[in-house]
Structure 1
Amino acid sequence: MPQLLSSGLYCPFPSQINKHVDVLEKHALEWVLRFNLQPSKTAYQRFSKSKFFLLAASAYPDCGLEELKIGNDWLSWVFIWDDLCDMSEFKKQPAALKVFQQRFIEILRGAEPTKQDIPINHALADLRQRTRERASEKWFNYFLHCFEQYCHGCVEEAAIRAEGIVPNINTYMKCRRFSVGGYLFLTVSEFCNNYMLSDILRNHKTVKQLELITIDILAWCNDVFSASREIDSGDVHNLVIVLHHLHKLPLNKAIKRSADMHDQKVKSLINLEASLPSFGEDIDVELAKYISIMHSWISGNFNWYSLTSRYESAEKLELINF
């Protein structure tokens, strides 16, 4: 399996790294320690080896240091929660997930954590405060909408796991597009770059298609590289596993099919970009910047997999630590 996964996927977009990367790792680890998000030595070592800060520095290559720190901490927070959704008792408890995530929404809407709140809630309140200090209300409301979509995807995946089934391709894609957090992090990219997509582009069908293709690329790249861990953990929300079960493909062929689907998505993104009409000079410049944001996420995400050890282990997480 590792040999198959190292064969590479198609990624024509240039790799970049933020100039503040050297100070980001120290901040990233200090923030996690401050809120006790990885309370055991094993958990902290696993987080450290995951090197999420390199993903942040690659996905947000042009932003300033403070925005980069916030963007990085959003990544860390979501990955920590994602592990709880996928690798603990939560993975098959949609009702319990929903309760926890409703508290997240309350905190993002302004509720202050209490002594009864778990550490991840206190960390979320810190992120809310730091983000709101630098973001417009309009942007934050859109971010909150994307956050709610992400939470919904996590609950839907847990419900499917609880049923003990492998989803069909349409169900898988519907859930995965939200649970992968792509819409959420494209929105964080706007924040990091002191930029907000105008309504005329946000609501344009072609821009929505560009976003959708980008989300699929991010999800399927992750699925190829994380397939081994998710097979070991018994998860089913992975394109490789869905194709393996539904089409009765051997795993090596399911991986090859998934990689081919990923590469075709990248080519379709390039083709769609080449066919874009002109919206006028100012809007064309704005759209070009948004496309650059998507490219940075695709290349940053792709390159990070050769640097992280996140997908080498399928160990179960204990809820009591959180």
Structure 2
Amino acid sequence: MRSALRSVLRRPLLPAPRRGTSPAEALLPLTDRVPAMGVPCRMHPAVYAIEAAVIDWARRTGMQADPGVGFHRIAGRVFAEFDAAAAALFAQWLTWLFNLDDELDEGARPLNLFQGILAGACGHPIEAAFADLWRVTSARMSDQWRARFAFNLRRQHDACRDEAANRATGRIPTLAEYPALRRGTVGPYLFDLVEPCLRVEVPAWLQGSESWRELVDACIDATAWCNDITSRAKERDDQHNLVVIAMHELRMDQREAVAWVLDRIVERCHDMHRAAKRIPLEALTPQQSRDVSKVACAYLAAPRAHLDWLLESNRYT
């Protein structure tokens, strides 16, 4: 319902986490410039049970689950008002995604690994862990949702292939082409996973609407570009970073480029909230309206939940 969407911006939240020195502190100006990011997200009351579920799953499947990275904490924030099982499943997928990301960066034949995932292979731990999560996640979803997930998994494969080609030639993407490329490499299917975690499904016609597409794309852009700022120091040699591209194309120094990217993040956060207000909830049944609102609220919470996680995680330190 519309009131549920609006409440994400108004509800009282917990005090901010303690902060030490972190690359993510460059993002703190967002808390003054984006009203919805002005206060930290609530943490799920069962966050330690969520962590235990992730560690147990990681041990069983051979994935790395560093407690200092804390994927259970970002999931605990995005799904703070839902059951612990929703947050645990999302945290397991996050753990898998970042294990995949590390393998793609460091593995000898990363695109072959992607081919195996797409083909349903289970020979590599990444492939086997994916199969394990897919069995749990897809069972409750329609064929349309499964096709959408598969399409977005292929989008990541194609984007990673394009990145590999750029690296081989030393080519830096342009500012015009980077947003679409980054939406692919970030793992766009991650945003499809909100639905099975909440045991709901957004109607196909709404998925294809301009307002919903803009909500999802703006959420992806805002979180991905925050990640670009935070990861810049650790991934210094990677040209697939909005700060690097702004420095190159706009002839900026790093401080100017970070400020420019922060401006773009502010714009995309505003775009996201405007899109949420345009969702045609009146065209849905009461149950569909409640389900869609749950998913939209999770998207609206994601940028601040991501910021809180970046401030406390050791992923990029």
> By the TM > 0.5 criterion, same fold?
yes
The 1:281/1:100 distance shift into structure 2, 3 A limit, reads closer
Q: Which residue of 1 aligns with 2:61?
A: 35
Judge conservation of contact 1:85–1:158 (CA < 8 Å) in 2. Answer: no
Gaps of 5+ in 1: 39-43, 91-95, 313-322
1:102 matches 2:115: yes
Corresponding residue of 2:134: 128
Change (3 A) 1:28 1:169: same
2:314 is equivalent to residue 309 of structure 1: yes
Q: Please tell me the root mean square deviation across aligned C-alpha atoms, in Å.
A: 2.4
Is 1:186–1:293's contact at 8 Å kept on the other side of the alignment?
Answer: no
Match for residue 69 of structure 1 among 88, 105, 108: 88
Give yes or no for contact 1:60–1:192 (8 Å, CA) kept in 2. Answer: no
Preserved CA contact (<8 Å) 1:55 1:304: yes
Aligned pair partner of 1:57 in 76, 83, 86: 76
Cα distance change of structure 1 residues 70 and 245 upon mapping to structure 2, 3 Å threshold: same
* CA–CA separation in structure 1 for the residues paired with 2:220 and 2:173: 19
In the alignment, which residue of structure 1 is the partner of 2:222? 217
- Distance (whole Å) between structure 2 residues aligned to residue 27 and residue 68 of structure 1: 10
**Number of matched pairs:** 289
Runs of 4+ in 1 over 6 A off after TM superposition: none
TM-superposition CA deviations, 1:6-59 (whole Å, max 9, x none): 543244336133232121212222322223334xxxxx6xx3211111111112
Matched, 1:154 2:160: yes
SS in structure 2 at match of 1:310: coil
Cα distance in 2 for partners of 1:263, 1:71 equals 26
Alignment of 1:159-174 (within 5 A): 159-174=165-180
Matching of residues 1-322 of structure 1 within 5 Å: 2=23, 5=26, 7-10=28-31, 11-13=34-36, 15-38=41-64, 47-86=66-105, 88=106, 96-107=109-120, 113=122, 117-181=123-187, 183-231=188-236, 234-274=237-277, 279-280=282-283, 282=285, 285-312=290-317
Q: Name the SS for the 1:230 alignment partner.
A: coil
TM-score (norm 1): 0.81
1:48 counterpart SS class? coil
- State the SS of the aligned residue for 2:59: helix
Alpha-carbon distance in 2 for matches of 1:269, 1:295 = 7
For 1:298, give the aligned amino acid: P
Q: How far, CA to CA, are the matches of 1:186 and 1:72 in structure 2?
A: 13
Q: Is the 8 A contact 1:21 1:54 kept in 2?
A: yes
The residue identity in structure 1 corresponding to 2:158 is: H
Distance in 2, matches of 1:7 and 1:296, equals 16
In structure 2, the CA distance between the partners of 1:287 and 1:135, relative to structure 1 (3 Å rule), is closer
Asked if structure 1 preserves the Cα contact closer than 8 Å seen for 2:77 and 2:305, the reply is yes
Structure 2 residues without counterparts, runs of 5 or longer: 1-21
Q: Deviation string for 1:67-108 (max 9, x for gaps)?
A: 33222111100011112223x255xxxxx333211110122x
Counterparts in 2 of 1:247 and 1:49: CA distance versus 1, 3 Å: same
TM-score (norm 2): 0.82
